[in-house]
Amino acid sequence: MSPACVSRRAPALLAFLACLLFSACSTHPPAAALQRTRSESFGKLPDGREVQIHTLRNKAGMQVRAMDYGATITEILAPDRNGNFTNVLLGKDTLPPYLGSFPGAASTIGRFANRIRNARFTLDGREVRVTANAGQHHIHGGREGFASKLWSATTGSDRSSSFVRFQRRSPAGEEGFPGNLDVTVTFTLTDDGEVRMDYTATTDEATVVNLTNHAYFNLAGGGDILSHQLQIHADRTTVADKDLIPTGPEKDVTGTGLDFRQPHAIGERIEQYRQGPNGYDHNFVLGGTAGKLRSAAKATDPASGRVMECLTTEPGVQLYTAQHISGRPDGSGVWPRHPAFCLETQHPPDAPNHPHFTSTVLRPGQTFRSTTAYRFSTTR
HSE of 23, CA atoms in CB hemisphere, 13 A: 6
Q: How confident is the model at residue 20 (pLDDT cuts 50, 70, 90)?
A: very low
Rounded mean pLDDT, 305-327: 95
Nearest to 176 by CA among 118, 125, 128: 128
Rounded mean pLDDT, 320-342: 88
- Cis, peptide link before residue 337, omega less than 30° from 0: no
Cβ distance 238 to 349 under 8 Å? yes
Q: How far apart are CA 32 and CA 26, in angstroms?
A: 15
Q: 18-27: which pairs have CB atoms within 8 A and are 24 or more residues apart?
A: none
Cβ distance 338 to 226 under 8 Å? yes
What does 279-321 look like in DSSP terms, one character per residue?
Answer: S-EEEEEE-S-TTS-EEEEEEE-TTT-EEEEEEESSSEEEEE-
Q: How far apart are CA 81 and CA 69, in angstroms?
A: 33
Instruction: Please identify every residue annotated as catalytic.
Output: 214, 344
Question: 10 Å Cβ neighbour count for 346?
Answer: 26
180 Cα distance to chain centroid:
24
* Domain 37-378 top-level CATH class: mainly beta
Q: Which residue has the higher pLDDT, 241 or 26?
A: 241
List, for residues 117-158, the tens digit of each pLDDT value.
999 999 999 999 999 999 999 999 999 999 999 999 999 999
pTM exceeds cut of 0.75: yes
Nearest to 130 by CA among 122, 141, 121, 119: 119
Does residue 33 carry a pLDDT above 90?
no
Helix/strand/coil for 23: coil
- CB burial string 46-59: b at 16+ within 10 A, e below: eeeeebbbbbbbbe
List, for residues 246-279, the tens digit of each pLDDT value.
999 999 999 999 999 999 999 999 999 976 668 9
- The domain spans of the chain are 37-378
Q: How far apart are CA 281 and CA 337, in angstroms?
A: 15
